[in-house]
Structure 1
Amino acid sequence: MNLPIFLSEIKSLNPKADIQEIRKAYNFAKKVYGDTKRLSGQFMLDHCLDIAISVAGAQLDTASIQATIIHETIEKFNITRQEIETQFDSQVAHIVEGISNVGKVEHQGAKRSAENLRKLFLAMGEDIRVIIIKLINRTHGLETLRVFNEEKQKRIATETLEIYAPLANRLGMGKIQSKLEDMSFPYVYALQYEWLNKKVAEEYPIRQKIVEGVKTIITKELDKENIDIIQFDGRVKHLYSLWRKLQHNDMDMSRIYDLVALRLIVKDVASCYHTLGIIHKIYKPLHGRIKDYIASPKPNGYQSLHTTVFCDDVVEIQIRTPDMHKNAEYGIASHWYYDDEKKGILTYLKRLLPQSPKKEIQWIQELRKRQEKIGPDATDFENLKIDFFKDRIFVFTPLGDVFDLPLGSSTIDFAYRIHSNIGNTMNATKINDKMVPLNTKLNNGDIVEIITQKNAHPSEKWLQYVKTSIARNHIKKYLKSKNKLLENKIDEDLPLNALKTVKELLPKIKKTLASSQVEHKIKGISQILIKSTKCCHPKYPDKIIGYITATRGLTIHKKNCENMEKNKNKDRLFPLEWY
């Protein structure tokens, strides 16, 4: 790509960009990259210029565009940060170094993945532009994924679906998210992609005809009411998003109402609500399908009115303003400021959201805290992905505060999401003004009230009901502290040498124990609760063994129970038999 064409493209996409500074970056990159080609056969310079054009289109500042043009110089051409700082400034050098640091680590197993996440989150906390450029860069990288072997294709595509696309979603960058997902989909789920492509090809013409008819009728009615229509078009649902939705609807395409949806852009918020009222006069809305994300935006900043109406079929309509549309496409990037202030994510969000920045940035702060604790094993990595990158639901407090949680979270997760003290003392829960069990799973839009009691405390059973690691960790922490106290008490009341008498006092266990709990009095010792366990489910005539616990009395296990074989407290074990 020659310089005049490139600069003209940048100027048309981003009029605020400093063309002279970008020209300087172009000349520097051309000198460093020379005729170097990528594995795909594309010149390195052209690759970086393509990404820079996308970065300009996302409305990032001049420093971001410059850094994108020269972002390969440190990692692949041994240019130092000092050289870049001398040629440009510390801001450009900082962004280039951030992109290089994030890009150094490949996705090779859980340990490397965790390290890659560390670098992503640290870069995010220091300068959000690094992450935005990295996400855009990833979309361009996926375009040439075909040059790699099948194993590497699947690895890169899987990493994109699990980390990069959900991250784009959390930053409100819907356009980038959809690109990342749809480009990765055929590499990770080839058969499903092929099947879905065929189904969409069959369904699309039918749905498109219905949508066009609805569009014509609505346009006429809006004209009568003098509503200025800025844009009104149909949009086809992205394939990966459609596939995920089908999984929740028994793979039944007839239950997907937004395969082809209408998007209506009007001049202001008042016009949005006026338009919604007019549409509902024409078509009956589907119960439970009206979503007001203007009054209650999603945590990633997304705003719009959604409604689904009955016509010849069922059609979804989205109504928004131009600013809302821009934000839905580019998220954080769409609000970038051209100034010399610090560019960290916290600074940016405080400018963007002066009314309540702490609540809006809480998830980013949590990410940075959690990334410091990621261990090398797969469990830590998987927990982090579940907490921050899986499907999310948005739940409200009675006062209207919104919290986002992983899909499948319970009221216990919600309580700990608010505060650990709320979780540790929760006694009851109301969802939408109705009392529900503590293990009830939450749905999008639920209004949840947590009722606490001073003497309430977590139960070990709660671990079966929680989805988030923050809830799980707090429950375990409480149980561990409680067990330590009880263990000390048992050691005082029942010294270990006294346990030897148990073998003589309780040599046989009733055959009915498998389905019940029995209390036995032991001479010289207070009552001990005897119970069967869930880890190995002992029942007659299994060979059994007893174990004195710190909190649950005497537990009965199969003799070959794996938990008991691993147990280090052998002095608390003794043989038993049925009678």
Structure 2
Amino acid sequence: MSKKIIQSERIKKAVDFATKAHEGQKRKSGEPYIIHPKAVMETLLEWGMDEDTAIAGVLHDTVEDTGVTLEEIKQEFGEPVAFLVDGVTKIGKARQGMRDIDTYLPVTRDNLLRLLVATGSDIRVLIIKLADRLHNLRTLSALSPEKQKKIAKETLEIFAPLADRLNMGKLRVEMSDIAFSYVDPRRYEELKKIIETRNQSAEKALKKIKNEVSEALSKEKINFEINGRVKSVYSLHKKLAKYNQNINEVYDLTALRVIVDDITSCYLVLGLIHSLYTPMTGRIKDYVAVPKQNGYQSLHTTVITPDKRIVEFQIRTKDMHEYAERGLAASFYYNEQKLTESYKTGKIQHLPTNLLWISELQMAAAKLRDGQQVDLKKLKLNLFADKIFVYTPKGDIIDLPVGALPLDFAYRLHSEVGGHVIGAKINGKLSNLNTKLKSGDVVEILTSKNQTVRASWLDKIITPHARAKIKQQLSRTIESIVGPNKKK
């Protein structure tokens, strides 16, 4: 698919257009600037993205860094490409308005992630931005140590989690490991050595287990592939933090991955593996029946072999594996043609729930290609479908579940704010504490030092966090009045 698209006249025209626009511009390495947008385009093609996205990739810096206008891009390459370039440009401007990453509080870092999502109203805008960041990471050595660390830290805080939200596992791993090698080079090398040493010592045993499983699956005439998966350096770093730096608690340093043709075979393989080895209690996870929020599907099990070796297995279909590696980019690859066709024929494709928004997006793209009108503002990214985003008067973005009320918002800001609420203003107007908040609302919490928590507030919240804080405050209030030993 990539080679075929690369030969298209539109892409050649876009490369020529970008080359002319960036003429005379240099990167920090001294190389011609056009090397960067061309690399972004090539990455998008490798990921299997559509032609419009690839073209927008090579043009993504033209509006921000050259004299080219959006109107020119629209005239030369069409409305969809102009829309994507505009989205990437807006993300760039939004990021410039944020404070230096080193001064962020955790909530502010999360705000930037949400800002990227909110700005990228077409998922392809975010995928272009990720391709842009990937090439910048791969060429980070040309920058000063200070900038290297800043970009690397921002990647770990913002862009790698964004790749994870889009289930682009392969990208998340590469971005995280490159960034971590700049943020903490000594720790990176230390963990890299640990992984290499442990894998070498386990190689012979894993080969034996692999052969045993292969033999059992072949006897059952199951079509399969089996290979090893080595844990990334940054993933190990995060895992060790959870287990108090005890490497012996990390069971999935190396895992065996079994890829089969269909879901039925996934469960057959799980049963066969459990017949060969003893499964560890609490270590069986069914992400096939209940996928992760980002759409990831796989069966995970950790087993103990007769020689007391602990091994993790991941079992999935080919489609699940492709999605786990390339995430939503893979969904575009597989669904673009049939979604376009479904629009033309009027037949609805039955996609998994987490991919339904992609069909809306691509059917809209098909309409644009056919010269029809589409309200681009309605193409909203659905990564946070179960959440609303409301603002403080200072402009901080707070995410809450759908149906949240002002007290949920107050306790999300701080439990001390929540405990002294006397009212709330929503979009500048005094509002009842039973008012359900909506995305985009600006909420101001009114407080008084004389106000104390009330039991009736438990009926004016929906979040577990607010409920827990109110109960704690009520308990403290009772203790202060009757003493700790006289509570009923």
Q: Structure 1 length normalisation: TM-score?
A: 0.61
1:35-114 alignment, distance < 5 Å: 36-104=25-93, 105-106=95-96, 108=100, 109-110=103-104
Deviation of residue 163 (structure 1)? 1.1
Match of 1:438 in 2: none
Match of 1:288 in 2: 282
Match of 2:357 among 350, 353, 358: 350
Match of 1:10 among 2, 13, 33: 2
Match of 1:127 in 2: 122
Contact 1:63 1:91 in 2 (8 A): yes
Match of 1:141 among 133, 136, 154: 136
1:328 aligns with 2:324: yes
Deviation of residue 488 (structure 1)? 9.6
Deviation of residue 361 (structure 1)? 3.9
Cα distance in 1 for residues equivalent to 2:247 and 2:268 = 32
Aligned partner of 1:363: which letter? F
What whole-Å deviation, never above 9, does each CA across 1:71-126 have from its counterpart, x for those lacking one?
121111121101111111011011112112212334524499688556513333x2
Contact 2:285 2:301 in 1 (8 A): yes
Match of 2:221 among 215, 226, 245: 226
1:274 aligns with 2:268: yes
1:264 aligns with 2:258: yes
Aligned partner of 1:137: which letter? D
Match of 2:165 among 148, 153, 170: 170
Q: 2:303 aligns to what SS in structure 1?
A: strand
Aligned partner of 1:99: which letter? V
Match of 1:524 in 2: none
Contact 2:421 2:447 in 1 (8 A): no
Deviation of residue 171 (structure 1)? 1.6
Contact 2:422 2:448 in 1 (8 A): no
Q: 1:308 aligns to what SS in structure 2?
A: strand
What whole-Å deviation, never above 9, does each CA across 1:112-166 have from its counterpart, x for those lacking one?
9688556513333x21111011112111111122222222221111111111111
Q: Structure 2 length normalisation: TM-score?
A: 0.71
Cα distance in 2 for residues equivalent to 1:24 and 1:123 = 28
Q: Decide whether aligned partners of structure 1 residues 233 and 473 sit closer, same or farther in structure 2, where only a CA change above 3 A counts.
A: farther
Gaps of 5+ in 1: 1-8, 355-359, 388-415, 425-457, 464-468, 490-514, 520-528, 533-579
Contact 1:516 1:531 in 2 (8 A): no
Q: Size of the alignment, in residue pairs?
A: 398
Q: 1:44 aligns to what SS in structure 2?
A: coil
Deviation of residue 366 (structure 1)? 3.2
Deviation of residue 420 (structure 1)? 4.0
What whole-Å deviation, never above 9, does each CA across 1:468-500 have from its counterpart, x for those lacking one?
x389699558675899899699xxxxxxxxxxx
Match of 2:188 in 1: 193
Match of 1:318 in 2: 314
Work out the percentage of aligned pairs sharing the same amino acid.
35
Rg larger in 1 or in 2? Answer: 1
Contact 1:114 1:374 in 2 (8 A): no
Match of 1:539 in 2: none
Aligned partner of 1:172: which letter? N
Contact 1:18 1:62 in 2 (8 A): no
Q: 2:293 aligns to what SS in structure 1?
A: coil
Q: 2:48 aligns to what SS in structure 1?
A: coil
Q: Decide whether aligned partners of structure 1 residues 210 and 86 sit closer, same or farther in structure 2, where only a CA change above 3 A counts.
A: same
Aligned partner of 1:234: which letter? G
- Greater shift, 126-135 or 24-33, is seen at 24-33
Cα distance in 1 for residues equivalent to 2:15 and 2:320 = 33
Match of 1:154 among 149, 152, 162: 149
Cα distance in 1 for residues equivalent to 2:136 and 2:451 = 59
Contact 2:259 2:318 in 1 (8 A): yes
Cα distance in 1 for residues equivalent to 2:449 and 2:207 = 70
Match of 2:384 in 1: 363
Match of 1:553 in 2: none
Match of 1:301 among 280, 287, 295: 295
Q: Decide whether aligned partners of structure 1 residues 299 and 470 sit closer, same or farther in structure 2, where only a CA change above 3 A counts.
A: farther
Contact 1:420 1:474 in 2 (8 A): no
1:22-37 alignment, distance < 5 Å: 22-34=11-23, 36-37=25-26
Q: 1:63 aligns to what SS in structure 2?
A: helix
Q: Decide whether aligned partners of structure 1 residues 420 and 130 sit closer, same or farther in structure 2, where only a CA change above 3 A counts.
A: closer
- RMSD over equivalenced CA pairs, Å: 3.9
Match of 2:206 in 1: 211
Contact 1:48 1:70 in 2 (8 A): yes
Contact 1:175 1:329 in 2 (8 A): yes
Match of 2:248 among 242, 250, 254: 254
Contact 1:266 1:321 in 2 (8 A): yes
Cα distance in 1 for residues equivalent to 2:171 and 2:235 = 13
Q: Decide whether aligned partners of structure 1 residues 479 and 259 sit closer, same or farther in structure 2, where only a CA change above 3 A counts.
A: farther
Deviation of residue 237 (structure 1)? 0.4
Aligned partner of 1:305: which letter? L
Q: 2:245 aligns to what SS in structure 1?
A: coil
- Greater shift, 303-312 or 206-215, is seen at 206-215
Q: 1:136 aligns to what SS in structure 2?
A: helix
Q: 2:199 aligns to what SS in structure 1?
A: helix
Contact 2:387 2:402 in 1 (8 A): no
Q: Decide whether aligned partners of structure 1 residues 334 and 477 sit closer, same or farther in structure 2, where only a CA change above 3 A counts.
A: farther
Contact 1:417 1:470 in 2 (8 A): no
Cα distance in 2 for residues equivalent to 1:215 and 1:325 = 19
What whole-Å deviation, never above 9, does each CA across 1:304-336 have from its counterpart, x for those lacking one?
000111124111110101111111112222112
